[in-house]
Amino acid sequence: MTATKAGTRPARRSRLPVLMAAAIVLHNLEEWWTLPLLPETLDALYALLGLPIAQPEIATIRWALAIFAVVPAGILLIAASKNTPRAAFVCCMIASMSAANALLPHIALSLAWGGYVPGLVTAVFGTLPVGAFVLYEARRSEWLRPRGWLGAIALGIVLLPLVLTGFWALAQL
């Protein structure tokens, strides 16, 4: 969040991480609520990925979903209070990861399986558009230099599979 273009208000900038945090929390709430209604989704996902770990109980997955909502939301809320390039980088990285998570696995699995998967609605109407908007606004308003902006996007995309793997590992506890 370096020097901004004329007319860009810092107050608006500080609201975007809050909006991203809200989208993530709503997305994880949708998954938390709908996953027990569609337990076959987990079976199909495990079969597709060939995961070498036992499938956790729904209650365990729900705890993991809560953690994976609270941690990034907390980080984003802290970033919202800072006016630094580091905070902008973290916000863009999480926005990138959230938008990528909407595409893979949610939208891709929905298309592959021909129906709803837990988290699809908030992925399509929440994390994907909000994440894309945060990235757009960060670039338009020059919160980061171009290389920093691209680096945040790349890191978010690279970290996504690691975070998802961490999610399944966390659910094993």
How many domains does one find in the chain?
A: 1
**Residue 1 included in any domain:** no
The answer as to whether 92 is a domain residue is: yes
Check pLDDT > 70 for residue 113. Answer: yes
43 domain-assigned: yes
pLDDT of residue 83: 84
- Rounded to the nearest 5 degrees, what angle is found at the Cα of 121, between the Cα atoms of 72 and 49? 75
Give pTM, 2 decimals: 0.88
Residue 135, Cβ neighbours under 10 Å: how many? 23
Q: What is the pLDDT of residue 9?
A: 56
**pLDDT tens sequence across 51-108:** 666 778 888 889 989 999 999 999 999 999 998 999 999 999 999 999 999 998 899 9
Residue 5 located in a structural domain: no
Is residue 45 one of the residues assigned to a domain? yes
State how far the alpha carbon of 75 is from the alpha carbons of 4, 64, 67, 125, 133, in Å: 22, 17, 12, 22, 18
Q: Which residue has the higher pLDDT, 11 or 1?
A: 11
156: Cβ–Cβ under 8 A, 6 or more apart, which residues?
92, 93, 94, 95, 96, 97, 98, 100
Residue 110 resides in a domain: yes
- Copy the structure tokens of residue 99: 């938008």
Q: What span, in angstroms and rounded, lies between the C-alpha atoms of 120 and 94?
A: 18
SS3 115: coil
> Which domain covers residue 84, as residue numbers?
10-171
How confident is the model at residue 12, as a pLDDT?
Answer: 64
Instruction: Report pLDDT for 2.
Output: 44
The answer to whether 168 and 53 are in contact (CB under 8 A) is: yes
Question: Residue 41: which pLDDT band, with cuts at 50, 70 and 90?
Answer: confident
- Determine contact, residues 82/17, Cβ cutoff 8 Å: no
What's the pLDDT score for residue 1?
Answer: 43
